[in-house]
Structure 1
Amino acid sequence: MDHRNYIEEQRYVKAKKRVNDIKGFYIHFTVYVLVNIFISGVIIFGLTNDEGRSFSDAITHPGVYMTWMGWGIGVFFHWLGVFGFPTVMTKGWEERKIQELMKEEEERSNRITKK
């Protein structure tokens, strides 16, 4: 395999992983919205029919919005991992740090051999 084909294959693998990460987030977000709409509807319906509460009382019930908030935190961090600011400890950071340390070691080795 020639060097250009290898680099092209690595780019493809990296791009495919990125697409899968984005797709995974969109699936997660869609499930989050649909499930929470269903849960909120069930809770509101149950509170207005079974307990005789008004609609405005039912929509302010903590059960309606707690799953949105709790699960929403997880969705936010998923979004942050896919689209947001990269953390310091990403795979790219690891690779850059390895290259930096290898370069420092090579320079140190060159100084020693010149003496």
Structure 2
Amino acid sequence: MKNQDKKENLGYWSAKKKVKEIKGFYVHLLVYLFINIAIIAVAAYQDGDWHTLNNIWTYSTAFFWGIGLFAHWLSVFGPNKLFGRDWEERKVKELMEKDKKRNWE
């Protein structure tokens, strides 16, 4: 297999993996919305009083699950500024430069 074919094949599988991650996030988002709307609707219907929706326990699932959903969003769409590929490349170059200077001294 030619080197170019290998690169294209890796690019395809990388893109396919990214699409799968994005799809996974959207499924997670839809489940989050459906379940939390159902929880709030049941809480409202159960007591027949909209004042019970002021209860913090009604929203606790949405809040804590929302934190997890945000983390999922960051892993799929968020910037990898801290330890992403750019950071790795910069760090490798930095360490190579330090090593080069140390060897010349």
- Find the counterpart in structure 1 of residue 58 from structure 2: 64
2:78 corresponding residue in structure 1: 84
TM-score normalised by length of structure 1 = 0.73
Which residue matches 2:8? 8
Partner in structure 1 of residue 43 of structure 2: 43
Give the percent of matched residue pairs that are identical in Structure 1 and Structure 2.
Answer: 34
How has the CA–CA distance of structure 1 residues 101 and 7 changed in structure 2, closer, same or farther, with 3 Å as cutoff? farther
Q: Deviations over 1:30-57 (max 9, x none)?
A: 0000011111111222222xxxxxx331
Q: In 2 relative to 1, CA 8–103 (structure 1 residues): closer, same or farther, beyond 3 Å?
A: farther
- Gaps of at least 5 residues in structure 1 are 49-54
* Residues in 1 aligned to 2:57 and 2:47: alpha-carbon distance in whole angstroms: 10
What count of residue pairs does the alignment treat as equivalent? 105
With structure 2 as the length reference, what TM-score do the two structures score?
0.79
Higher Rg: 1
Q: Does the CA contact (< 8 Å) of 1:25 and 1:79 recur in 2?
A: yes
Structure 2: any 5+ residue segments left out of the alignment? none
Provide the rounded CA distance (Å) in 1 between the counterparts of 2:98 and 2:4. 28
Alpha carbons of structure 1 residues 106 and 61: separation in structure 2 relative to 1, 3 Å: closer
How large is the Cα RMSD of the aligned pairs? 2.6
Q: Secondary structure at the match of 1:85?
A: coil
